[in-house]
Structure 1
Amino acid sequence: MDLTDDEILKVIEHFKDIGYSMSGDGIDDDTDLDDIDDSNFSEEEANEDEDDEDLVDDEEEDDEKESIENLDVSNLDNLNNDVKVNDSVKIYLKDIGKVPLLTAEQEKELAKRILKGDTNARNQLITANLRLVVSIAKHRIGRGMPFLDLIEEGNLGLMKAVEKFDYTKNFKFSTYATWWIKQAINRAIADQARTIRIPVHMVETINKISKHSRALVQKLGREPTAEEISEDMQGALSPQKIRDIQKISLEPVSLETPIGEEDDSKLGDFVEDKENLSPTEYATREMIKSKLNEVMGELTDREERVLRLRYGLDDNRPRTLEEVGKEFGVTRERIRQIEAKAIRKLRHPNRQKKLEDYRS
């Protein structure tokens, strides 16, 4: 059964409301690269950056929009200054920086050999394009996955591109590989990075909204409204749809999150427990109970017992006249009379005055 975007939003919102955590086994959205159809591939789509730059500014975006032909070792060295990477990643970056880039003609020749089952040609084409993966993965840093994991997922996309590449269609391998690398990384992020998994196409929509929102913040100097974002997107999404998507895109926060300079408190300590009384409410209730017991002490034992059973004062379970009558071995009418007499006594001004301060 295929769900519409609105239905998906409702399902995700429902799971968030009940605190349910869905992993990659949740809503399926073709996360397996083998299931992705590249029949609609286009160079324009491969070069689109609408879902790439959540954490880099516009100037850096322009610097990083480079084709594989222009990638060199210096770019990888700069990466070490921009991103905190461990020694294993640095070694990896240096190793792939030593691999020479390929010309379009060399790519074509390798593709021909790959079709004939040449494993060495396949490995050569993959190795020569590993820097492209790093360049694309860099833009996804901060999306909930370690940098090295992003590279690994991108490499899977690169291998799939090598497997699927058709040199007869006359587009550059780097352009085709870019599309597959983005597919692999974006799906991994959607599948693994969030506590509650959001379908890939919905993640892409969230990123588009984020891009337009950032642009409007720069232009307006404030957070844009849903109406302004909708207008900037030329009505592609309605304001209400944008609000719904922004709501489900929020990440859950753990109640164990430390609060305060010394981290001696947790977020959960400040969340109201609506199923239990607050300290103030509990204290008030105990004072009312004490005063009520004092007032009811002026009734006869039978009158007090009847009121306690009728109104469930001891166990929060009110009884019917008939149930109380069976308890005392009298008729329901007799219990009604005893109850009425007891209430008249409690309404005496002297007794009412003791409870006036607690009347809501």
Structure 2
Amino acid sequence: MRNLHRPSAYPEATDRGLILPPAELTIDQVPPVSDLDPGAHLDSLEFDDTVDIYLKEMSRVPLLSLEEEVGLAKRIDRGRRARCELAQLNDRRTTRQSRLLEGWIDDGLLAREQIIKANTRLVVSIAKKYLGRGVPFLDLIQEGNLGLMKAVEKFDYKRGFRFSTYATWWIRQTVSRAIAEQGRTIRLPIHMTDRIRNLYRVFHKMEQQLGQPPTIDQLAGEMGLTARKAQWLLQVSWIPLSLESPVGVEDDAELGTLVEDRYSPTPFQIVYENMLRERVNEVLGTLTPREARIIRLRFGLDEDHPYTLDEVGAKFGLTRERIRQIEGKALRRLRHPYRARRLREYL
């Protein structure tokens, strides 16, 4: 594919603080609060009852203020530290210490659950942008929730960023990787999927600038690739369609009925080959049985491949020279005008 030099994976956030992906995610790119309505822009889409119930449940969870986010993050951090301290004390801890630390751990888990629930609508807002890429919407949400949980574990409130700013990248990463792994019949490597995504990003940007789709040469020049590599990237990005996919106004036909199979013979070719086979059999019928058999073997008329003189000789118990003589005599007889005329129209 393309020789794209942008990194396909961003630096991973560490427990020490927030590391945003370079030049990829900014605060402006985080979905605004007005877009975090789980039902926004989804009215025209059809989902099953499971998704509908999920969206309704999320809509009841209020968004968090910055102060609430910080408070929950502090409780999560305290619970995490309490877990480490409890493990270090082992048998040296008192009953009072154990109860205190276990209480902080439970409170941290409760805070973790609260911040996850409050940001599930962020997951939906991001997941809906990846619809139509081969992965069901509910699966996209589930993958995004995994990214959200990862963001909760990595988030450092001391950096001063909103949690949604940090979580957006983690959600996008897990969703895009799920599409790369699950959304294609032919699985592509993750780095190749990133390159294809960059390709289409540049394609749409140039389309807006030019007022029309860019040519392969223009697209390749913009991305620093050869035209051949750009064309190849576009081709591998195509998603296979099932020949059994329903088509038509009432889905009363299948795609396979409308697609030409270039590798299957046409009805004309089938008739032509059958007539030719019959005519060859008629002409060979004028030879002796041994001559006809040798011609069939030597030219592979009844087999997948032609036989050598030695192979034919082994079948008849004759030398290769004798087989060559019989073959030559049979070919001379086939060149007779009477026989040749019957085959000439097929040549």
Q: TM above 0.5, one fold?
A: yes
CA-CA distance at 1:264 after TM superposition? 4.3
CA contact 1:46–1:178 (8 Å) conserved in 2: no
Summarize the Cα distance change of 1:162–1:293 in structure 2 as closer, same or farther, 3 Å threshold. closer
* 1:256 matched residue in structure 2: 244
* 1:47 matched residue in structure 2: 25
* 1:174 matched residue in structure 2: 164
Paired amino acid for 2:25? N
Paired amino acid for 2:64? L
Paired amino acid for 1:96? M
Sequence identity of aligned pairs in percent? 46
RMSD (Å), alpha carbons: 3.7
CA contact 1:153–1:184 (8 Å) conserved in 2: yes
CA contact 1:258–1:267 (8 Å) conserved in 2: no
Aligned residues: 311
Paired amino acid for 2:13? D
* 1:291 matched residue in structure 2: 279
CA distance in 2, matches of 1:342, 1:192: 61
CA distance in 2, matches of 1:143, 1:252: 12
* 1:245 matched residue in structure 2: 233
CA contact 2:30–2:168 (8 Å) conserved in 1: no
Indicate which of 184, 187, 191 corresponds to 1:201. Answer: 191
CA distance in 2, matches of 1:185, 1:329: 70
* 2:261 matched residue in structure 1: 272
User: Does 1:126 find its partner at 2:101?
Assistant: no
Summarize the Cα distance change of 1:325–1:250 in structure 2 as closer, same or farther, 3 Å threshold. closer
CA-CA distance at 1:165 after TM superposition? 0.9
* 2:344 matched residue in structure 1: 356
CA distance in 2, matches of 1:290, 1:47: 71
CA contact 1:46–1:176 (8 Å) conserved in 2: no
User: Does 1:93 find its partner at 2:55?
Assistant: yes
User: Does 1:346 find its partner at 2:327?
Assistant: no
Summarize the Cα distance change of 1:325–1:120 in structure 2 as closer, same or farther, 3 Å threshold. closer
User: Does 1:108 find its partner at 2:83?
Assistant: no
Paired amino acid for 2:331? I
* 2:88 matched residue in structure 1: none
CA contact 2:283–2:339 (8 Å) conserved in 1: yes
Query: What TM-score, normalized to structure 1?
Result: 0.71
Paired amino acid for 1:344? R
CA distance in 1, matches of 2:139, 2:317: 77
CA distance in 2, matches of 1:42, 1:339: 79
CA contact 1:45–1:179 (8 Å) conserved in 2: no
* 1:210 matched residue in structure 2: 200
User: Does 1:281 find its partner at 2:281?
Assistant: no
User: Does 1:66 find its partner at 2:31?
Assistant: yes
Query: What TM-score, normalized to structure 2?
Result: 0.73
Unmatched tracts of structure 1, length 5 or more:
7-28, 31-35, 50-61
